[in-house]
Amino acid sequence: MNKRKILVTSALPYANGSIHLGHLVEYIQTDIWVRFQKMCSPEGDGHEIYFVCADDTHGTPIMLRAEKEGITPEALIDRVHSEHLRDFTDFHIEFDNYYTTHSPETRQYSEDIYSKLKAADPSLIGTQCIEQFYDSVKNIFLPDRFIKGECPKCSAKDQYGDNCEICGAAYAPTDLIKPYSTVSNAALVMRTSEHFFFKLSDNRCISFLRHWTREENHLQPEAANKMREWLGESEQSNLSDWDISRDAPYFGFEIPNASGKYFYVWLDAPIGYMGSFKNLCNQRNINFDEFWKKGSTTELYHFIGKDILYFHALFWPAMLENSGYRTPTKIFSHGFLTINGEKMSKSRGTFITAENYLKQGLDPEYLRYYYAAKLNGTMEDIDLNFDDFTARVNSDLVGKYINIASRVAGFLVNYFNYRVTDISGLVIQSDSLQGPEQFKTGGARLIDELLENADLIHTHMENRRYNLAISTIMALTGKVNEYWNQQKPWDKAKQLDDEQQKLSLHLVSSITIECFRILTIFLKPILPKLAQNAESFLNVEPLQWKDLSKTLLPGHQIKAYKHLMTRIDRKKIDAMIEASK
Ligand SMILES: [Zn+2]
């Protein structure tokens, strides 16, 4: 196994709202993968892997919200940044750098990429005059989400610009009757302005993207199919040029040599990956170019939601390809979160923020475990069903995995002075015990079975099929419990004056605690805090994947058992839902 150099990103959350359970699907998914890679290494100190992210801070909604709160956009994004980082940290999302797109680094790369696209021959940046709704009280062009009016079909009032909530008709904002601004309530007028466009419909982009989206599994198969629809097969593609500028007033980066024109937030958002990494490079003396220049042999992975596939699988690689940078190795897209089978909703109390979840005293690792048990590496939506959530965490995690440690610890503590015995050769004279052969080989076979599954679990984790990793791990966990029950240690403990029974009890307890150690290695990327507490109970150094080839040494002393995790109290979930309404 070679040491890999890997850069991983999660999509940048917008600095206009709180982190909620829907967001966390992605950050937990990415964090598990990064932690897994960091644990696996030929030399023991991990692959060189970096996980960066940032707040996405630009655009009209940020500007308007700051104005509403009577603060500057900078003050708003500073506050939101610290809230986001607090929530991520609480859920054990461990970024190497969590930065902001409102940074000198992101500005530098935005200008650089733009100027290279502009300088291409012929230029990949064009201009067009477009007509847009203008709020002449606020003196701004308005994004669609701030526009309402009467439905052109049924004349219902106060409908948004894309569809009618009364009759269900879909239309364009320009079709609305008496359109008005939700910011100022002013009637809107159409006004013309010159915008800059990235020429995505240029053949240099189309032919590149037709190859890129189909080759080397850059995209999951279902994502590649989606791109095929957009890109078209023949001469004609369905792609149009991409509007990358917005007019002042706008919170963002002004376009060089174009006074009053700003980069559209979606242009600088993905460039924020580069900005955040550059900022990390400066802190840690990492070679930025090795990761980003064209021809780079390092790996670059973007974890995203399927709603922003268009930006990441088309605009982003086309921009990079035509400006001297490398393109992503793979884009890992996931589905949306539903709760109890439905869209998250404020009225049902299922629009749950990270903060509200934690406020009820719910352990963040319940959610990490549950999401992992559902994530299968595809773009399918995942459902958080609270009955299933409670049952699974309580029966699998607490009832099976934690249970092993809590059951065995007492025997080792009470009868063997916290010490494990030698299990390396499973040393009991077979002729001196009743049924010892079965007992010995049973213990040896169990440990072997756990270790034989390590490669399979490794492959599932690498491929982001955490659901399969977990079902494999939990099947093994069930077998360890079975073994323990079959050995009836409580019976052996009643016959401790019989030296063989005592030896047998020591061996069974030592084998079982060794199994717990192995299971902890498997679960560690998913449950980092729990694993840390388990390491402290086992009295071992932070576990790495390579520690699978070791065992606890004879005479090794564990520590007294302290509660590792409590069961989910259903009342806390009900309280959380109530508090989210
Ligand atoms: Zn209508």
3-state helix, strand and coil shares in percent for the chain, rounded to the nearest 5: 50, 15, 35
Q: Residue 165 Cα, ligand 1 centroid: separation in angstroms?
A: 7
For residue 127, list its beta bridge partners.
Answer: 196
Over residues 474-511, the pLDDT tens digits come to 999 999 999 999 999 999 999 999 999 999 999 999 99
Give the Å distance between the CA of 155 and the centre of ligand 1: 6
Measured in angstroms, how far is the CA atom of residue 181 from the centroid of ligand 1? 19
pLDDT digit string (tens) for 550-568? 999 999 999 999 999 999 9
State the DSSP H helix or E strand holding residue 38, giving kind and residue range, or none if neither: helix 21-39
User: CA-CA distance, 341 to 113, in Å (whole number)?
Assistant: 42
Which has more confidence, 232 or 549? 549
Q: Report CA(158)–ligand 1 centroid distance (Å).
A: 10
Q: Give the model's pLDDT for residue 217.
A: 93
Report CA(169)–ligand 1 centroid distance (Å): 6
Which tens digit of pLDDT belongs to each residue from 87-143?
999 999 999 999 999 999 999 999 999 999 999 999 999 999 999 999 999 999 998
Output the CA–CA distances (angstroms, integers) from residue 212 to 9, 175, 327, in the order listed: 20, 37, 9
Question: What would the mean pLDDT of 362-386 be, rounded to a whole number?
Answer: 97
Q: Is the pLDDT of residue 372 over 50?
A: yes
Per-residue confidence band for 457, with pLDDT thresholds at 50, 70 and 90: very high
Nearest to 373, CA basis, from 455, 450, 469, 461: 469
Report how far ligand 1's centroid is from the alpha carbon of 162 (Å): 11
DSSP H/E element including 83: helix 73-90
Asked if the model's pLDDT at residue 425 lies above 70, the reply is: no
- Separation of 135 CA from ligand 1 center, angstroms? 24
How confident is residue 441, by pLDDT bands cut at 50, 70 and 90? low
CA of 420 from ligand 1 middle (Å) equals 73
Residue 426: the pLDDT is 55
Which range, of 346-350, 363-367, 396-400, 449-453, averages the lowest pLDDT?
A: 346-350
The CA 49 to ligand 1 mean position distance, Å, reads: 52
| C-alpha 163 – ligand 1 centre gap (Å) | 8
Place of tokens 């791109």: 227
Cα–Cα dist 84/79, whole Å: 9
Residues in the chain: 581
Distance CA 12, CA 265 (A): 12
Average pLDDT over the chain, rounded to an integer = 93
**Does pLDDT of 161 surpass 90?**
no
Give the Å distance between the CA of 159 and the centre of ligand 1.
8
Is the pLDDT reported for residue 431 higher than 50? no
pLDDT of 315 reads 96
For residue range 305-314, list pLDDT tens digits in order: 999 999 999 9
Q: Could you identify the residue written with the tokens 């984790």?
A: 461
User: For residue 465, is pLDDT > 90?
Assistant: yes
Check if the beta carbon of residue 167 is closer than 8 Å to that of residue 153: yes
Which of 376, 464, 531 is closest to 33 using CA atoms?
Answer: 464
Per-residue pLDDT of 165-199, as tens digits, reads 899 888 888 899 999 999 999 999 999 999 999 99
Taking CA atoms, 201 is separated from 206, 232, 235, 315, 500, in Å, by: 6, 11, 11, 11, 80
Structural domains in the chain, sorted by start: 1-124+199-334 (3.40.50.620), 384-549 (1.10.730.10)
What whole-number percentage of the chain has pLDDT above 90? 87
Query: How confident is the model over 322-340, as a mean pLDDT?
Result: 97
Average of pLDDT values for 52-65? Answer: 97
Question: What whole-number distance in Å separates Cα of residue 81 and Cα of residue 406?
Answer: 40
Q: What is the pLDDT of residue 40?
A: 87
pLDDT at 442: 72
Whole-number Å distance, alpha carbon 153 to ligand 1 midpoint, is 5
Predicted confidence (pLDDT) per residue in 69-79, tens digit: 999 999 999 99
CB atoms within 10 A of CB 168: 10
CA of 581 to the centre of ligand 1 (A): 28
144/295: higher pLDDT: 295
In this prediction, residue 280 carries a pLDDT of: 98
Contact 564, 402 (CB under 8 A): yes
Task: pLDDT band for 401, please (50, 70, 90 cuts).
Answer: very high
What's the gap in Å between 154 CA and the centre of ligand 1?
4
Q: For 152-287, where are the alpha helices, taking DSSP H only?
A: 203-212, 221-231, 265-284
pLDDT, residue 430, reads 43
Higher pLDDT, 394 or 426: 394
> Residue 167 Cα, ligand 1 centroid: separation in angstroms?
4
Give me ligand 1 centre to Cα 191, in Å. Answer: 26
Q: How many CA atoms lie within 13 Å of 140's alpha carbon, on the beta-carbon side?
A: 20
Q: How far is the CA of 187 from the centre of ligand 1 (A)?
A: 20
Question: Is the whole-model pTM more than 0.75?
Answer: yes
pLDDT digits (tens, 9 = 90+) for 521-533: 999 999 999 999 9
The stretch 11-23 carries a mean pLDDT of 97
Using the mean position of ligand 1's atoms as its centre, give its distance from the Cα of residue 171 in Å: 10
The pLDDT assigned to 239 comes to 86
Side chain identity at 373, as an amino acid letter?
A
Q: What is the pLDDT of residues 234-258, one digit of tens each?
A: 767 778 899 999 999 999 999 999 9
* Euclidean distance between CA atoms 559 and 536, whole angstroms: 7
Residue 299 to residue 297: CA distance in whole angstroms: 7
User: Has residue 333 got a pLDDT over 60?
Assistant: yes
Helix (H) / strand (E) element for 504: namely helix 499-523
Using alpha carbons, select from 12, 36, 25 the residue that is nearest to residue 367.
25
How high is the pLDDT of residue 428?
Answer: 44
CA–centroid distance, 177 to ligand 1, in Å, is 11
In this structure, are residues 327 and 317 in contact, taking their beta carbons and an 8 Å threshold?
A: yes
pLDDT over 70, % of the chain: 95
pLDDT for 439 beyond 90: no
Residue 122, preceding bond cis, omega within 30 degrees?
Answer: yes
